[in-house]
Amino acid sequence: MEEKCCTKCLSLKIENVANQSLDILEFLQLQASGIPVLDVRTPAEFASGHIPGALNLPLFDDEERKIIGTIYKQVSREKAILQGLELVGPRMADLAKQGISHAVEKKVLVHCWRGGMRSSSLAWLLNLMGIETLTLRRGYKNFRKYVLQTFTHPYQFTILGGKTGSAKTRFLAELQKRGEQMIDLEGLAFHRGSAFGAIGQSQRQTQEQFENELAVKLRAFDPDKTIWIEDESRHVGSKIIPMEIWENMRHSRVLFLDFAQDVRIEYLKEEYGQIQNMEFLKKAFFDIKKRLGDVSYNDAIKALDSNDLTSACKIALDYYDKAYEYGLSKRDQYTIQKIKLDNLNIEFAVNQILMEKSCQI
């Protein structure tokens, strides 16, 4: 009886911390001001998806959370809390030290999955140590709702198009330097277009985290101003552009960078010529072998074996150019404005792009 009473008292003390919880906008505004976010979910939960910039300070590891969840469902809430205390007890000092070390001006933000016992428990502990700790109301689940709502906004996209090898990513970076709002979908997805896009992109993330990063990026922009975004299929590597964003993109204005194939081949040779292991390029060709056909595939491999990147690039572009032209034909043609360019002079081309931006189709 005494054990059950003590557990209830501690639970009430911890739950009182919920009174210091914030809604999602307040929470993210404080994060933007420099207050760190501590995500107390398990490493597996964090890896699946998290608030961009958050730090993982798990109260339980993956197996411990399963154990506690089973006790909660099959035995009782009180027993689950006691089991949690037994597991966390030996680590409380270390959790407190880590929380204190991350605090900025003696303040941190904390969340768990639904804004329940895990975040409240760490908040209670850190508050005891003199750290002002604010939790996220309804937790990460609430953040995900915020993310999905973000994609329904009517953003003013201008699509930067161009066939493979048009250096669109470089142009987007230059536009950003000049103060333009820009989304680099390939950068967010750690992919650089086509079957060759994974080369040199070692970092991996989940679809959920891709969406989280995209939403936070969009929310930081002025929705009444142009947002530049690269022309993409709905699949960017293994990631999928959210349907609402995709439909907006398909109905947005397209500025198409029209470079001759030989200009694009020189750019691709610069991009991929520094790769030491040709097996990466061979694998990329293998991934599109069925679409290339045996003859073109074998010619590409022979070219790579002979270190003839010009021929290999031409084979790839002959395929991708047809695919891109087909995709472009599916758009409303009145939304497409072509910009004819003779070379990859970034400064000159961006000047042309910005001139076209101010013109009506």
Q: Which residues are catalytic?
A: 112
Distance in angstroms (rounded) separating the CA atoms of residues 77 and 332: 58
* First vs last C-alpha separation in the chain: 77
Distance in angstroms (rounded) separating the CA atoms of residues 36 and 33: 9
CA distances in angstroms from 41 to 10, 119, 131, 140, 224, listed in the order given: 21, 8, 20, 9, 36
Residue type, 43: P
Give the residue among 190, 170, 161 at the shortest CA–CA distance from 324: 161
Dihedral angle computed from the Cα positions of residues 22, 24, 25 and 30, in that order, rounded to the nearest 10 degrees:
60
- The residues facing 339 across adjacent strands are 257
Contacts 24+ apart (CB under 8 A), 2-10: 3/82, 4/78, 7/78, 7/81, 7/82, 8/78, 10/81, 10/85
Helix axes 77-88, 62-74, angle to 10 degrees: 160
Distance in angstroms (rounded) separating the CA atoms of residues 258 and 338: 6
